[in-house]
């Protein structure tokens, strides 16, 4: 047990709201919406459980602004931006359960952009027609017309207004991980020659306009956060220097919390994979530790420290925090204000409660076990199928724990990566198929 209690200290945000402590459950896509892309009882159960776990801030999985371009089957979408009474009641129930412990629940708002798989999307939409070449899962996107860009800016804002009306206590704009906003920032995926592409100022315009419109929609006294890549870690992509410049432009935009993350589907650094791999599948086999990661369990902390020097808003870092000592150190040295945790809360919702009570026990960490042959194949294999199973199986394993919590069940820790992979394929495709049928029936 430690006497140090920095994690338990409240944080006053610029808008006037207060987070009761410094632990945040970071966004994790749930995939448990109904066929009309509305929140369900499973959201209510899941978020009540996470609220009981003690984190001061819960951030929802990404809620989509465009029902045509989902991140995965089972996303909640708020489109049209003013939902009908039933959809609104469901959002209210979700918000009530997710704030039941006096904690905050913020809605993460997103557009998947080009990272929308073929089985949920007729046609991905993106700044430019740059296709994501990953496991043949993504179609060539269509480049957005200017009137669509302007419409999307308003959609982020309108969804934020809806979140406030439904009882969510804040919103987070998703500007990271290669989705729409992030793909505008990157010269690799944004090849436009109009006011929305080219110079950094033009590439950042979409993000800055979204944040401005969102703030205007919810008013000055409501938390607005942003998740931003410290870098894309991709040759020619959004760089750390560019990130530092964008943060300075964001300083005047009234953000309450900037969450630092990094990477895209092609370079999934958000999950701690490093190396020079050119695709996500290769990256799963690359080293999971760089020298700075070895020193610091949280792999974006070094970037956060550089961002801290130019940022005027509170900062949060997510990715790799697994010990209380690592979290306390990050808070004590002033690198961050809030600690983001994701995967550990899929298998043990009470992690925050124990940390706040002073427990020094290491957090659950299944990532290193979740590899074919318990890691036997992982570091050396060049076999595409094994790599594929490791990547999707691991992600699927966490999806499955989240869905089980939504059903009020305990996690299945003994499920291996291959079992999780098979289950992942089954769940994704059958959910997508059920949703397509339900939508067709509605149209009929
Ligand atoms: C199952 C799963 C779903 C995720 N979904 C989202 C998401 O919807 N939005 C987002 O910004 N990040 C998402 N992430 C990334 C996490 O928020 C977080 O950045 C990442 O898992 C690293 O944190 P950790 O080491 O504490 O797990 C997801 C991660 C996992 C494992």
Nearest atom in ligand 1 to the alpha carbon of residue 174 is 11
Report which of 310, 329, 336 is spatially closest to residue 22, judged by C-alpha positions: 336
Nearest atom in ligand 1 to the alpha carbon of residue 343 is 27
Q: Which sign does the torsion angle of CA 19, 112, 127, 67 carry?
A: negative
The residue with tokens 């206590």 is 169
Q: Is the model's pLDDT at 293 over the cut of 90?
A: no
Dihedral (Cα; 78, 83, 84, 87), 10-degree rounding? 50
DSSP category for residue 216? H
Nearest CA to ligand 1 atom 11: 27
Average pLDDT, the chain: 91
* Largest distance between two CA atoms of the chain: 63
User: pLDDT tens across 19-50, in order?
Assistant: 999 999 999 999 999 999 999 999 999 999 99
CA of 442 from ligand 1 middle (Å) equals 33
The residue with tokens 């296709």 is 131
Nearest atom in ligand 1 to the alpha carbon of residue 341 is 26
CA distance 70 to 411: 26
Mean pLDDT of 70-77: 96
The predicted pLDDT at position 333 comes to 94
Nearest CA to ligand 1 atom 2: 28
Q: Is the model's pLDDT at 137 over the cut of 50?
A: yes
CA of 311 from ligand 1 middle (Å) equals 23
* C-beta atoms surrounding 382 within 10 Å: 9
**Cβ < 6 A, ligand 1 pocket:** 26-29, 61-62, 108, 174, 176-177, 227, 261, 270-271, 318-320, 341-343, 395, 398-399
User: pLDDT tens across 140-180, in order?
Assistant: 999 999 999 999 999 999 999 999 999 999 999 999 999 99
User: pLDDT tens across 89-109, in order?
Assistant: 999 999 999 999 999 999 999
Q: Is the model's pLDDT at 302 over the cut of 50?
A: yes
CA of 19 from ligand 1 middle (Å) equals 21
CA of 26 from ligand 1 middle (Å) equals 6
Residue boundaries of the structural domains of the chain: 6-362
Nearest CA to ligand 1 atom 22: 319
| Long-range residue pairs from 76-82, CB within 8 A, at least 24 positions apart, any chain | 76/30, 76/33, 76/37, 76/38, 76/39, 76/43, 77/33, 77/37, 78/158, 78/159, 78/162, 78/163, 79/37, 79/155, 81/154, 81/155, 81/158, 81/159, 81/161, 81/162, 82/158, 82/162
Q: Which of 23, 24, 28, 366 to mutate to test the pocket of ligand 1 (most atoms within 8 A of CB)?
A: 28
Q: Which of 24, 25, 26 to mutate to test the pocket of ligand 1 (most atoms within 8 A of CB)?
A: 26
**H or E element at residue 341:** strand 338-341
**H or E element at residue 194:** none
Q: Are 341 and 309 in contact (CB under 8 A)?
A: no
The predicted pLDDT at position 382 comes to 61
User: pLDDT tens across 190-238, in order?
Assistant: 999 999 999 999 999 999 999 999 999 999 999 999 999 999 999 999 9
Mean pLDDT of 129-145: 93
Residue 3 confidence class, pLDDT cut points 50, 70, 90: very low
Q: In this structure, what token pair is assigned to residue 290?
A: 């760089």
Nearest atom in ligand 1 to the alpha carbon of residue 346 is 1
CA distance 274 to 287: 6
CA of 62 from ligand 1 middle (Å) equals 10
Q: Is the model's pLDDT at 286 over the cut of 80?
A: no
Q: Which sign does the torsion angle of CA 28, 208, 279, 273 carry?
A: negative
Mean pLDDT of 108-113: 98
Nearest CA to ligand 1 atom 28: 28
Report which of 13, 9, 27 is spatially closest to residue 106, judged by C-alpha positions: 27
Least confident of 162-176, 234-248, 287-301: 287-301
CA distance 406 to 6: 31
Q: Does residue 312 sit in helix, strand or coil?
A: coil
CA of 282 from ligand 1 middle (Å) equals 19
CA distance 264 to 247: 19
The predicted pLDDT at position 134 comes to 84
Q: What percent of the chain has pLDDT over 90?
A: 79
Nearest atom in ligand 1 to the alpha carbon of residue 172 is 11
Cite the DSSP H helix spans in 167-204.
180-185, 200-203
Cite the DSSP H helix spans in 141-204.
146-166, 180-185, 200-203
Residue 379 confidence class, pLDDT cut points 50, 70, 90: very low
Q: Does residue 304 sit in helix, strand or coil?
A: helix
- Where would I find the beta strands (DSSP E) of 21-91? 23-25, 57-64
Nearest CA to ligand 1 atom 5: 28
Q: Which sign does the torsion angle of CA 160, 161, 166, 169 carry?
A: positive
* Bond from prior residue into 107 cis (ω within 30 degrees of 0): no
CA of 142 from ligand 1 middle (Å) equals 27
**Residue 430 Rama label (left phi>0; alpha psi -120 to 50; beta):** alpha
Least confident of 118-127, 260-269, 273-282, 379-388: 273-282
Q: Does residue 117 sit in helix, strand or coil?
A: strand
CA of 275 from ligand 1 middle (Å) equals 19
CA of 28 from ligand 1 middle (Å) equals 5
CA distance 108 to 173: 6
Is 3.20.20.70 the CATH number for 6-362?
yes
Q: Are 177 and 229 in contact (CB under 8 A)?
A: yes
Residue 4 confidence class, pLDDT cut points 50, 70, 90: low
CA distance 220 to 239: 31
Q: Which sign does the torsion angle of CA 252, 257, 261, 264 carry?
A: negative
CA of 47 from ligand 1 middle (Å) equals 16
Nearest atom in ligand 1 to the alpha carbon of residue 177 is 11
How remote is the C-alpha of 62 from its chain's centroid? 6
Dihedral (Cα; 68, 73, 75, 77), 10-degree rounding? 20
CA of 265 from ligand 1 middle (Å) equals 12
User: pLDDT tens across 262-277, in order?
Assistant: 999 988 888 887 643 3
Nearest atom in ligand 1 to the alpha carbon of residue 398 is 1
């Amino acid at each position: 047990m430690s006497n140090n209690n920095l994690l338990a200290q409240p944080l006053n945000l610029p808008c006037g709201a207060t987070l009761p402590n410094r632990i945040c459950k970071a966004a994790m896509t749930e995939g448990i919406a109904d066929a009309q892309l509305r929140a369900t009882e499973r959201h209510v159960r899941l978020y009540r459980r996470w609220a009981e776990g003690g984190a001061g801030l819960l951030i929802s999985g990404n809620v989509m602004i465009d029902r045509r371009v989902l991140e995965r089957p089972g996303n909640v979408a708020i489109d049209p931006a003013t939902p009908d009474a039933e959809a609104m009641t469901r959002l209210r129930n979700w918000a009530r359960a997710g704030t039941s412990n006096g904690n905050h629940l913020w809605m993460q708002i997103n557009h998947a952009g080009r990272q929308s798989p073929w089985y949920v999307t007729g046609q991905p939409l993106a700044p430019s027609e740059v296709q994501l070449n990953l496991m043949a899962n993504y179609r060539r996107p269509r480049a957005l017309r200017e009137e669509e860009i302007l419409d999307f800016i308003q959609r982020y804002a309108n969804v934020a207004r809806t979140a406030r009306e439904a009882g969510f206590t804040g919103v987070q704009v998703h500007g990271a991980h290669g989705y729409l906003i992030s793909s505008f920032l990157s010269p690799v995926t944004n090849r436009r020659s109009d006011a929305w592409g080219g110079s950094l100022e033009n590439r950042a315009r979409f993000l800055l306009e979204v944040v401005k419109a969102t703030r205007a929609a919810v008013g000055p006294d409501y938390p607005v956060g942003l998740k931003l890549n410290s870098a894309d870690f991709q040759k020619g992509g959004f760089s750390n220097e560019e990130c530092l410049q964008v943060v300075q432009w964001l300083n005047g935009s009234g953000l309450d919390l900037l969450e630092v993350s990094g990477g895209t589907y092609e370079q999934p650094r958000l999950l701690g994979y490093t190396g020079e791999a050119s695709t996500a599948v290769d990256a799963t086999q690359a080293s999971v530790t760089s020298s700075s990661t070895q020193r610091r369990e949280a792999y974006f902390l070094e970037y956060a420290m550089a961002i801290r020097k130019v940022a005027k808003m509170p900062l949060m870092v997510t990715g790799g925090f697994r010990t209380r000592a690592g979290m306390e150190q990050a808070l004590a040295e002033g690198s961050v204000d809030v600690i983001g945790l994701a995967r550990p809360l899929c298998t043990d919702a009470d992690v925050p409660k124990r940390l706040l009570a002073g427990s020094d026990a290491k957090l659950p960490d299944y990532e290193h076990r979740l590899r074919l042959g318990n890691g036997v194949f992982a570091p050396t294999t060049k076999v595409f199928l094994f790599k594929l199973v490791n990547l999707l199986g691991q992600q699927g394993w966490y999806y499955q724990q989240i869905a089980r919590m939504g059903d009020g069940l305990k996690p299945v820790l003994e499920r291996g990566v291959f079992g999780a992979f098979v289950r992942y394929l089954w769940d994704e495709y059958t959910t997508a198929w059920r949703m397509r049928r339900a939508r067709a029936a509605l149209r009929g």
